[in-house]
Structure 1
C-alpha cells in the first residue's frame, strides 16, 4: 500500500521536505504548493503538480498526508484547514505561536481522527536516540544536567520568530525526550542584536520535575556553527554532536561498573573516553519515514501534538522570563 503525500510551503525548509518525501517507501509525493512562483519553479524537476493555493491543491489532488513548512504564524490556520479535510499532517516546529493555537490544532486532529505530528527533528538524530537508549538501559544512572549549545550566524530569511522558537525548541524537545520529564521552572537572559523584532541570543536554565537541570546556550550571533548536547549523570557524560552525529562517552572513573545502587554516588573523577560508532542517517528522512509508518500502521505519531505543545510551553516561558527578568514556575 502506498499513500499520497504533498508539501505545503516550498521555501528553504520546504525544498528539503520535497527532496526527502519524494524518496520515502510507502509514500508517493504527488504535489506541492507555495504562493511564490520562484519557489514553485525551483522544484519542477521532481515532476509533481505545483499549485499557488494549497486549498486548490488539496481539493484536486486529494492527498492522504501533508507536510507543512509554512511560516509559524500560519501553522494553526493551514493545519486545521488540512486536517478538516481528513488529511494527516506533519507540521514543522514549533507547533504554533501560542498555546491556544496549539490546542486548536490538537483538538482538530482529534475531531477529524487524523494524525498530527510535529517536526522536532533532533528526536530522529541517531546520536540523540542512542543517548536515550542508553539512559533507559541505566548506563548513566541518574541524570544531573543536560547542556545544549546551538550557535550559528544570523539567518536573514527568518523574520517571524526569534531564536527561542526557531532553535531552542529543538533542544527543549530533546531534553524532554531523554529525561521523560517535564519542566517545572524556567529562567532566561535574552538579547536582541541583529534581528529586527525578536531575540537572537538566549542563555536559559530549566529545572525538570525529576530533578535534572537543563542549560540552553542558543544564539544567532556566532560566526561558528555548533550543535552539541551533553548529558551528565552518575556514570559519566555523553557528548553528542548533532551535525556529525558523533557520540562520545566520558566515563566517571569513580564508578564501579558492576555497580551498586545510586545512593553510593560519591563524586566524579576522570575516566576512559569512548567514541561510539553510530550508523549515520539523515534525521529528516527518519522523521518522514516515522510519519508515513504511523499513518500506514495507525499508531501514535513519534512526536505528538502534545509533545509539540510541551516544547512550545517551555519556549514561551523562556521568552516571558527574558522579557520580565523573572523566574517562571509551574
Structure 2
C-alpha cells in the first residue's frame, strides 16, 4: 500500500518537462526571449541543422542577408562557368557599352537564374545550353522555396507580449501577493488569454538536491479580452509555497518563476504562445506597480513605457 501511495504521489508531482536534475545554480530554465535554455549534443545532422526552422525563426535582417548572399553566390558561380567556357559561346554579347567579359557572363547568369531572359544574349552549343538549363531549373526551385519561406515567415503568429522587468512581492488585500504585469504590444486583438505561473527551486531530499516545481494559484488565470495590461497575482497565503520566503531564501534555493501565456489572435484565429522566466534576482520585495492606463476623452491610453514602473510599498 505504501508503494502504491508513492507511485500516486509521483504521478501528481508538478513538473514542467525540465525534470528534477536541473539544479544548476547559475543557469536559468527559460531565457528572457522565451526559448528554453537547453543545448543538445549527439544530434543527427538533419536535427542539428534544422534549416527550415532556422530560416523561419531568424531575424528579418539576417534572412535578407542570407537570401541576398545566396543569390550573389549562385550568380558568381555560374558567371565564372560561362566565363571559363568562353564568352564567345554567348551569342549577342556587345562590348560597346564597356562591360568586361566576366560581367557580361555574370549578368547573363542573373537573367537566366530569374528566367527574365531579355533575349539580347543567348547560349550557343551543348555545354553552354546545359549549364543555362541547370541554372534555370535551380532558379525556379530556389524562388519557389523562397516564396514558401516568405509566406511561412509572414503567416507565422509572433506574439508581442511584453512582461514587466521584475516580478514583485506587493501588498494585496490584507496579505501580500506575487505580481507580474504584462501587456500586448501589438494592435491586434487577443481573446481567451490564459496564464500560468510555476515556481521552481532546488530542494534537498534524502541528501540529494532536486529541482521541484509548484503551480501557483492565481487570483485570475484567464481573461476574455486582453485589451489593456494584465497583472498576474498569486495571493501569498499560509498555504502558498512562497509563504515566509525572503530574498535570501530564494537565492539559496536558486528559485525561478516560469510564466506561460497562451490565447487566440482573433485576426487569423491563430493560437499564440509566450513564455518568460524570472530568476530570484529579478524578484523585488516591497514594491507595487504604478498605473499605466490613462483614460482620455474618447479612448483609453495604454502607456507601455510604464509597464515596469513601481514604487515602494509597505508589506503586510
User: Scaled by the length of structure 2, what TM-score is found?
Assistant: 0.23
Q: Rg bigger for which structure?
A: 2
